[in-house]
Amino acid sequence: MSWQILILAFVTLQRLSELIVSRRNTARLIAAGGHEVGAGHYPLIVAVHGLWLAGLWWLAPGHDIVWPLLGLYVIFQFFRFWILLSLGKRWTTRIIIVPGETLVARGPYKFLKHPNYVLVMAEIACMPAIFGLGWFAFLFTILNAGVLFIRIRAENAALEPLR
């Protein structure tokens, strides 16, 4: 098995496991009286991320690996762990508002309003670049920025009463 396939398998398994965690956390938050905000744009997020991953599987095998960028991506995973640890059972891929909850203000959330989105932007750009697919990195950085523009506006509006 090639390094390219191993890297893509890791990213795919990571994303699938995150969806499982997100689904579990979403159900728990809804059961606690939470409600979803901005559900209309969620399929767009899924489409962009799904196409990004599918495109990587199609294009990356056979390309050389830029090892320093892979090292950078590994560093990003420590940031991901910090984010997930900071949010705990409140981490989800959806915007769920639970009445009476306060904003998380620990971990990277002490320093950034949306550290998870910063991470996702970095990963969307970095992973294709690892395989020398600069045009693909650029394309999906633009697509992801468009989706995040919608997402962050919806999330900020939903979280404003908690600030």
pTM over 0.85: yes
**What is residue 161's predicted lDDT score, i.e. its pLDDT?**
85
- Per-residue model confidence (pLDDT) at position 1: 80
For 25, 106, 117, the CA distances from 112, given in Å and listed in that order, are 22, 10, 10
Rounded to whole angstroms, the Cα distance separating 83 from 129 reads 23
- What does pLDDT average to in each consecutive run of 10 residues of the chain (163 residues)? 96 97 98 97 97 98 97 98 97 96 95 96 98 98 98 95 79
Q: What is the CATH number of domain 3-162?
A: 1.20.120.1630
pLDDT of residue 20: 97
Per-residue confidence (pLDDT) for residue 163, from 0 to 100: 73
**For residues 32 and 98, is the Cβ–Cβ distance under 8 A?**
yes
DSSP per residue, 8-32: HHHHHHHHHHHHHHHHHHHHHHHHT
Domain ranges of the chain: 3-162
pLDDT for res 154: 97
Task: Determine the Cα–Cα distance for residues 157 and 34; give it in Å rounded to an integer.
Answer: 16
How high is the pLDDT of residue 59?
98
Q: Residue 5 and residue 134: Cα distance in Å, rounded?
A: 19
